[in-house]
Amino acid sequence: MPDRRPHRAAFLGLVALLAVVFGGPAAAAAGGDTLIGIVRSRIRTPVDFAGAPEVVWLLETPQGKFTLDFTEPPTEDLTGREVTAHGLVQDQRIAVTDYAVKPRKQLPLEGGPEPASHQTGTQNTIAILNKFADIAAEPQPSSFFSSLLFGAFPSLKTFWEENSYNAMTLGGSINGWWSLPQPQATYNAIPNFDARLNQLVADALTTAAANGMTDIPNGTRLLLFFNERFGCSCAVGTLGFENWNTPWGVRTFSVAWFPGGNLATWAWAVDVVGHEMGHNLGWWHSGNVYFTYDSNFDVVSRGCKAEGSHTIVFNKVEAGWLSGPSAFALPFGTTSTYTVFPTTRTSGLRGLTLDMGDGLRAYSIEVRLHEGHDACIPEEGVLIHCWHKDLEDWAKKPVDATPGDGTLTNALWLPGMTFSEPAYGLTVQVWRQNPNGSFDIVVFWPLPAGVGCFGVPSSVAIQVPLGTPVSMVARQFTALLPPTPTAALMPAPLPCN
Ligand SMILES: [Zn+2]
């Protein structure tokens, strides 16, 4: 796939040139249309987490939002990237025949005015309760949603406060029930599902403005609840922010859509709202070891009903909620014992991460107990994840302590158990649980024979860029070692189980 990129870029460059020469639209020159915009991703969660999610790519352009229909799905995460897409445009979709991706300038969501503090501070959470024009039911009072989102434990507010160690909280309002201008069938009738979602946002905001709402500020977490389903048995969340035309001008915010009717008992709960908000915070799923949504240990997988389940240490580190003495990134050459506290605690070391340095695998270690928003997880113990850096969705997979049994409900590592990954010379032994709930964990990831202090073979000198991680430096040195240990250390990537 990567070798096709230059061709794409050249082709689109030619189209652009033709457009200039002939003074007409590039679309006419090539028998199709050309759209330039920022790619946005939306993830649909099937009801009861049964089945596979559907990831939808949209191109956000000055002309509107267009669903991208790829003949071959992209091999990289295009979210937030500027893309020039060529193909036939119809019904707010584009059948992509060719596309070019602008080189990435910044992480994580280039092109979107992503506020720097989008995972910290008070998230302005605006909920709108929407009634289809032909359905009068108001299945729950406003107070139900107030409790769900902002109330006492277990609410979404306490959920994110606990997950973030109070680095992030929710504040905002419950609005409605307000009647949408169209009956349910109108929204169901549009063939393009994401165009329907766009219309639901537009109509909900027009209605909100008519009812006195004065703005949806940038950075808002917009949660739309409906009194019936909107054409699918699913809930939907945007991956990060999108730009939207609103009655108050263009605004940047995330959106999650929650169905009502007989799906409300599933969707209007901490686990499902937390799951979609996890996407809104920018996270893909974890799990999919045996089947989709198979990890009860991450709200951005299946999570668990009632309290929701925390998200995983990789996400907490990415958000900056764990850092410094609360999460160690262990260097290659580590051989030590660590006392790791449950992820539900507010102090102490709560996560270990180990980057294998080959661009393919990293591991994380965390402790999970039945407490707080983890009260509903299936068991207690040590959770190890393997991050497949060559995957997009489902890249972070629990390493099952009981591999091959088809379930992750007993995936945790208990005292006396040892995880080892010979390909990387990595061994993790769960030694014991302490009375305060923490676990003593032995990590053995030694330098290979023949590598001296700090991984420097005595007769070799190489230069690495300033700031290169120690583990990466060690990798580069090991590549210079005699063939036998090198071969043992640099195998093809293995599955995580
Ligand atoms: Zn999802």
How remote is the CA of residue 103 from the centroid of ligand 1, in Å? Answer: 27
**259 and 301, same structural domain?**
no
Residue 108 lies in a domain: no
**Whether 126 contacts 223, CB under 8 Å:** yes
**312 and 264, same structural domain?**
no
**468 and 340, same structural domain?**
yes
Rounded Cα distance between 280 and 238, Å, is 5
CATH number at residue 46: 2.40.50
Q: How far apart are the first and last CA of the chain?
A: 28
How remote is the CA of residue 45 from the centroid of ligand 1, in Å? Answer: 5
How remote is the CA of residue 58 from the centroid of ligand 1, in Å? Answer: 17
Q: What pLDDT is attached to residue 60?
A: 94
How remote is the CA of residue 426 from the centroid of ligand 1, in Å? Answer: 31
Domain boundary among 263, 280, 297: 280
Q: What pLDDT is attached to residue 489?
A: 34
Rounded Cα distance between 308 and 274, Å, is 7
Q: Which residue has 């070692």 as its token pair?
A: 481
**401 and 374, same structural domain?**
yes
**Based on the structure, what is the number of domains in the chain?**
3
How remote is the CA of residue 354 from the centroid of ligand 1, in Å? Answer: 26
How remote is the CA of residue 395 from the centroid of ligand 1, in Å? Answer: 13
Spell out the alpha helix ranges (H) of 94-249.
142-150, 156-164, 184-189, 193-210
How remote is the CA of residue 187 from the centroid of ligand 1, in Å? Answer: 22
Domain that holds residue 459: 287-497
How remote is the CA of residue 125 from the centroid of ligand 1, in Å? Answer: 19
Rounded Cα distance between 85 and 63, Å, is 13
CATH number at residue 201: 3.40.390
**433 and 313, same structural domain?**
yes
Provide CB contacts within 8 A for 443, sequence distance 6+. 330, 334, 335, 336, 337, 338, 352, 354, 365, 426, 427, 428
**Whether 382 contacts 340, CB under 8 Å:** yes
Q: Rounded to the nearest 10 degrees, how much is the dihedral formed by the CA atoms of 381, 320, 309, 299?
A: -120
Rounded Cα distance between 315 and 320, Å, is 9
**293 and 276, same structural domain?**
no
Q: What pLDDT is attached to residue 447?
A: 77
The residues that bridge with 335 in the sheet, in sequence order, are 444
The residues that bridge with 357 in the sheet, in sequence order, are none
Rounded Cα distance between 225 and 259, Å, is 6
Residue 113 lies in a domain: no
Domain boundary among 280, 305, 336: 280
Residue 134 lies in a domain: yes
How remote is the CA of residue 285 from the centroid of ligand 1, in Å? Answer: 6
**331 and 230, same structural domain?**
no
**326 and 207, same structural domain?**
no
How remote is the CA of residue 283 from the centroid of ligand 1, in Å? Answer: 9
Residue 111 lies in a domain: no
**214 and 173, same structural domain?**
yes
How remote is the CA of residue 340 from the centroid of ligand 1, in Å? Answer: 29
Provide CB contacts within 8 A for 155, sequence distance 6+. 147, 148, 149, 270
Half-sphere exposure of 180 (CA within 13 A, CB side): 27
Taking only the tens of pLDDT, the chain with its 497 residues reads 333 333 333 333 333 333 332 223 333 345 689 999 999 999 999 999 999 998 889 999 989 999 999 988 888 888 888 999 999 999 899 999 999 998 755 444 434 444 445 899 999 999 999 999 999 999 999 999 999 999 999 999 999 999 999 999 999 999 999 999 999 999 998 888 999 999 999 999 999 999 999 999 999 999 999 999 998 999 999 999 999 999 999 999 999 999 999 999 999 999 999 999 999 999 999 999 999 999 999 999 999 999 999 999 999 999 999 999 999 999 988 889 999 999 999 999 999 999 999 999 999 999 999 999 999 999 999 999 999 998 889 999 999 999 999 999 999 999 999 999 998 999 999 999 999 999 999 999 987 665 544 444 333 333 334 444 444 444 433 433 333 333 233 334 444 44
Q: What pLDDT is attached to residue 108?
A: 43
